[in-house]
Amino acid sequence: MTKQTQTTLVIPCTDDGGVGKTTDLVLIADYLKAKDQKMALFDCDTANAGKPSSFAHWFGGKANQLDLRDEADLDTLLSQSAGSGVGWALADLPANSSGDIAHWLKTVATPKAIERLGLRIIAVGALNPTLGSCESVVQSMEMLGPRATYLIALNRTQYDRKVKNAETVFPVWFRWLESYPNKSAIQTIDVPHLQVRTMETLIAAAQLPSKTAKDPSLDPVMRIRVENWLEEVHSQLDTTGLFTPKTIETLVAAK
């Protein structure tokens, strides 16, 4: 027996677009980069390919492109993640893709298959205060079932002079969570609003936010905004305990 790093596949857990799922994935990538963790990157949102709104944009376009409406690419996402040899695989998924994925989950990517491949999955439920956001996350959780561990990102979409508590801003989610029998198994982070002009600057830079924050040409007040935003999110990710590298024992063939 020998121990090797187990790959954790991190994916969005919502069928909605425009709720912050790509931003949440970028923040997790930024966090892992700060911890010197190696990652495999997949951008499966073909509708936004090449656009500033795409996941690959934050890495200078350097991410594997897959179309999850093609079952062969769904298989590729699993096989390449499992065979990546790194601790983390991050994959952004397209909106409105659950219909294409649901059958594949039942027939190919079963819980037993995920375990056999040696994969761990973290599904990130991106919530914002808009109507229907919670329902989409819950439906995706029901579809993924026991295949994944769940992290909920409460994405605040506007500036509050006096920050309201999460229960006030996301009441539908907390009502649902109250009735969930295993609520302690769901981790939550609260993603603060970032000033629009600052976010636009980060997007234009086409690199991870931490790297932009170190750019000496960046307005110093804007740098403070970015650093504070990242520090708040990173500290919460630390607290979840979800992003500690895992090892698995594997058989080594005799030479």
Pick the CATH number of 2-250 from 3.40.50.740, 1.10.630.10, 3.40.190.10, 3.40.50.300: 3.40.50.300
Per-residue pLDDT of 94-127, as tens digits, reads 988 888 899 999 999 999 999 999 999 999 999 9
pLDDT at 244: 83
Asked if 193 and 157 count as a contact pair (C-beta separation under 8 A), the reply is: yes
Residue 40 near residue 89, CB atoms below 8 Å: yes
User: Which pLDDT score is estimated for 159?
Assistant: 72
Please name every residue paired with 248 in a beta bridge, in sequence order, or none if there are none: 4
The DSSP symbol for 95 reads T
Name the pLDDT band for 3 (thresholds 50, 70, 90). Answer: low
Torsion of CA 79, 84, 88, 89, to 10 degrees: -50
Residue 12 and residue 34: Cα distance in Å, rounded? 21
**Which residue ranges make up each domain of the chain?**
2-250
Model-level pTM? 0.93
What is the per-residue pLDDT across 175-210, written as a single tens digit (0 to 9) for each? 999 999 888 889 999 999 999 999 999 999 999 999
Dist. CA 30–CA 155, nearest whole Å: 17
Beta bridge partners of 120: 8
Amino acid type, 24:
D
**Which residues, in sequence order, are CB contacts of 99 under 8 Å at separation 6+?**
none
What is the C-alpha separation between 3 and 100, in angstroms, rounded? Answer: 35
* Closest by CA position to 226, among listed 192, 177, 179, 255: 192
Asked whether the beta carbons of 227 and 196 are under 8 A apart, the reply is no
138 C-beta neighbours (distance < 10 Å), count: 19
Q: What is the pLDDT of residue 252?
A: 38
SS3 state of residue 187: strand
Check residues 255 and 120 and name the one with the higher pLDDT.
120
pLDDT value of position 251? 40
- Residues of 85-94 as b/e, b for ≥16 C-beta within 10 angstroms? eebbbbbbbb
The predicted structure's pLDDT at residue 250: 43
Contact criterion met (CB below 8 Å) for 64 and 43: yes
DSSP track, 94-141: -TT-HHHHHHHHHHTS-HHHHHHTTEEEEEEEEE-SSTTHHHHHHHHH
Nearest to 40 by CA among 7, 72, 5: 7
The 10s digit of each residue's pLDDT in 16-61 is 999 999 999 999 999 999 999 999 999 999 888 889 999 999 999 9
Of 68 and 187, the structure prediction assigns the larger pLDDT to 187
Q: What is the residue-averaged pLDDT of the chain?
A: 91
Is the pLDDT at 238 greater than 60? The verdict is: yes
d(CA 155, CA 21): 9
